[in-house]
Structure 1
Amino acid sequence: MKIAGTDNGPKWMWALWLVAAMLSLAVLDLTVFGLVIPASALVLAVLTGRGRRLRGSARQTVDKLDLAVVAALYLAVVVLFRVAFTVFTAANVLGLFLCFGAGLVLGVAGPVFYTVRRGRPLSDLGLWLGNWQEAVVLGFVLAAIQFAITLWGYALPAPVDWVPLLVMSLTVGAFETVFFRGFVQTRLSASLGRIPGIALAAALYAAYHVGYGMSGEGMVFLFGLGVVYAVAIALVRNILVLWPLLTPLGSFFNNLNIGDIELPWEAILGFADVLGLMVAAVWLGRRRLRKAARRQA
């Protein structure tokens, strides 16, 4: 079997690479991880690509509208996050949450409605039930490795100090999975080729953390992690491989480890509302596609 839509080697080889990449979190320095993992993925792609051009097909068609929308939504999300965390800050909780929440909702609703507008199925974003068995099994294995390395034996604080963080991690994980993996990576790969699409999507994922005020060293690690997530979603084309286990667990551990994020119980309702708006956007998009299909029939 091949990676969905590619000739870059059998699935089992890439699945083993994903497992090895996650296990390496236990032994590699985070910056080294951010450099070694992408390099190893490129080597494996070259070795299993049978001499095909890295860029993709020689007849690769660049969709300029896709690239423009990706750029516009990306900039809008980063600006909203940057304003939330560096302008409003914790001194203005309402402004911070409204700006942050708007960015999260835009990162899901924007791709959904653009995809529908172009007459494409939501499976393009990984929002479907195809390959769900493979996605669930692979996602569970990767999440189990991550849990064993990061959270096994971790002494959790009082519930009020971690339950709201978990809900936030689930919400942010849903946004990142749909926006970066389902939308940005898919559209870049369609125009630029599989490998450039994955690399650029991972780089954009790392760079978007400037919205949180993150340093460059942390972004190197996130680039490597972004490549891991990108390969996982390319393997099964279903968001269940990353969410609700793998990406939220990583975010949850990071937030716990930082220790400077304090959320009240009321924050759970806020993030639940954001998650609800994301679900509503997907439902409305699916409904519009069904109506269009009925009209054509």
Structure 2
Amino acid sequence: MKILGIEGWRAWTWLSWLVAATLSLAFLDLTVFGIAVPASALLLAALTGPVGWRRGRVDRLDLTVVAALYIAVVALFRVAFTVFTTANVLGLFLCFGAGLVLGVAGPVFYTVRRGRPLSDLGLGLGNWKQATVLGLILSLIQFAITLLGYRLPAPVGWVPLLVMSLTVGAFETVFFRGFVQMRLSASFGQAPGIAIAAGLYAVYHVGYGMGGDGMIFLFGLGVLYAVAFALVRNVLVLWPLLTPLGSFFNNLSGGDIELPWEAILGFADVLGLMVAAVWLGHRRLQRKDPPATTPALGKDR
């Protein structure tokens, strides 16, 4: 029996771990969560067999492009939030929006250029049912822990934040899970790819001007998201529910971001550019024969 591309008890073990890790958000200190989740995932990877550690041939071009796009995105965010700041809203948004679009368009066009299908980024219909069900389960748990019973402010205080969370969530899912994680996993193996991608996800928050205090928690959260994505290799497991919900609650409860109604149009434009990049990449690939895809977590290379 196979579930989510993994055979038998391994599938149920990883699914149970995902549910338990998400539930632990309700009672673990954030720093403890950031340590316990990666540690338990590492132990589970060792207990369920060596397949998660297998690596392929190191693709230096992949690693170079991952590093270049990562540095460019973080730099754009850093300039937006620490140079322009809210004192120059137009400059902040243009830099921030450019980083978001680059984080999706860059991986899409690089993937197409290498002759790979967009399913290598988790964009497609592969495993969409499993991804939707798993994403819904994890999202309901997260919603119950964070937003259930939460008193929302006036619509202007949360609707623009929700649109921003959807847009940023789309960027993070494609860039960090579909691109960074999958390219690292192709060269180094699934387990190292997940660990390094989660670390890069945590560190990238320096682009927002964040210090090191919350990065341990973000590393643990990155591992949770990375494992969920690796199981199904479809962005639907994380977006549009799981990652935007977490970001939305964090921004809402933090109370340090205030956006006007006009911000909705700006983030809608950014999201539209992301969709356009994916569509153009898909059209380009229609003229080529689709190559083989990378196996999901648990499958032999």
Calculate the TM-score normalised by the size of structure 2: 0.93
Structure 2 residue 19 is the aligned partner of structure 1 residue 23: no
1:274 shift after superposition: 0.1
1:7 shift after superposition: 7.9
1:55 shift after superposition: 3.9
Which of residues 70, 78, 82 is equivalent to 1:82? 78
Which letter maps to 1:35?
I
* Residue 261 of structure 2: aligned partner: 265
1:292 shift after superposition: 2.6
* Residue 32 of structure 1: aligned partner: 32
* Residue 252 of structure 1: aligned partner: 248
1:213 shift after superposition: 1.1
Cα distance in structure 2, aligned partners of 1:25 and 1:210: 23
Which letter maps to 2:135?
G
1:5 shift after superposition: 6.7
Residues 71-99 of structure 1 show CA distances to partners (whole Å, capped at 9, x for unaligned) of 00000000000000000000000000000
**Gap runs ≥5 in structure 2:** 291-301
Which letter maps to 2:24?
S
Residues 219-259 of structure 1 show CA distances to partners (whole Å, capped at 9, x for unaligned) of 10000000000000000110000000000000000000110
* Residue 48 of structure 1: aligned partner: 48
Cα distance in structure 1, aligned partners of 2:157 and 2:52: 46
1:6 shift after superposition: 6.9
Structure 1 residues 70 and 7: CA distance shift in structure 2, 3 A = farther
Cα distance in structure 1, aligned partners of 2:271 and 2:40: 35
Cα distance in structure 1, aligned partners of 2:155 and 2:275: 26
* Residue 142 of structure 2: aligned partner: 146
Q: Could you say what secondary structure the match of 2:287 adopts?
A: helix
Which of residues 57, 60, 70 is equivalent to 1:61? 57
Structure 1 residues 223 and 7: CA distance shift in structure 2, 3 A = farther
Q: Could you say what secondary structure the match of 1:291 adopts?
A: coil
1:264 shift after superposition: 0.4
Number of aligned residue pairs: give it: 290
- Contact 1:3–1:236 at 8 Å: present in 2 too? no
Which of residues 70, 77, 87 is equivalent to 1:91? 87
Which letter maps to 1:101?
G
Q: Could you say what secondary structure the match of 1:169 adopts?
A: helix
* Residue 234 of structure 1: aligned partner: 230
* Residue 196 of structure 2: aligned partner: 200
Which letter maps to 1:228?
L
1:8 shift after superposition: 11
* Residue 159 of structure 2: aligned partner: 163
Cα distance in structure 2, aligned partners of 1:11 and 1:245: 22
Cα distance in structure 1, aligned partners of 2:105 and 2:223: 24
- Contact 1:31–1:218 at 8 Å: present in 2 too? yes
Cα distance in structure 2, aligned partners of 1:293 and 1:286: 12
Which of residues 214, 218, 222 is equivalent to 2:214? 218
Which of residues 187, 199, 204 is equivalent to 2:183? 187
- Contact 2:5–2:232 at 8 Å: present in 1 too? no
1:189 shift after superposition: 0.3
* Residue 276 of structure 1: aligned partner: 272
Structure 1 residues 105 and 8: CA distance shift in structure 2, 3 A = farther
CA RMSD of aligned residues (A): 1.6
Structure 2 residue 109 is the aligned partner of structure 1 residue 110: no
Calculate the TM-score normalised by the size of structure 1: 0.94
Cα distance in structure 2, aligned partners of 1:215 and 1:149: 25
Which letter maps to 2:43?
V
Which letter maps to 1:42?
L
- Contact 1:2–1:9 at 8 Å: present in 2 too? no
Structure 2 residue 65 is the aligned partner of structure 1 residue 72: no
Structure 1 residues 149 and 213: CA distance shift in structure 2, 3 A = same
1:3 shift after superposition: 7.5
Q: Could you say what secondary structure the match of 1:217 adopts?
A: coil
Residues 118-139 of structure 1 show CA distances to partners (whole Å, capped at 9, x for unaligned) of 0000000000111111101100
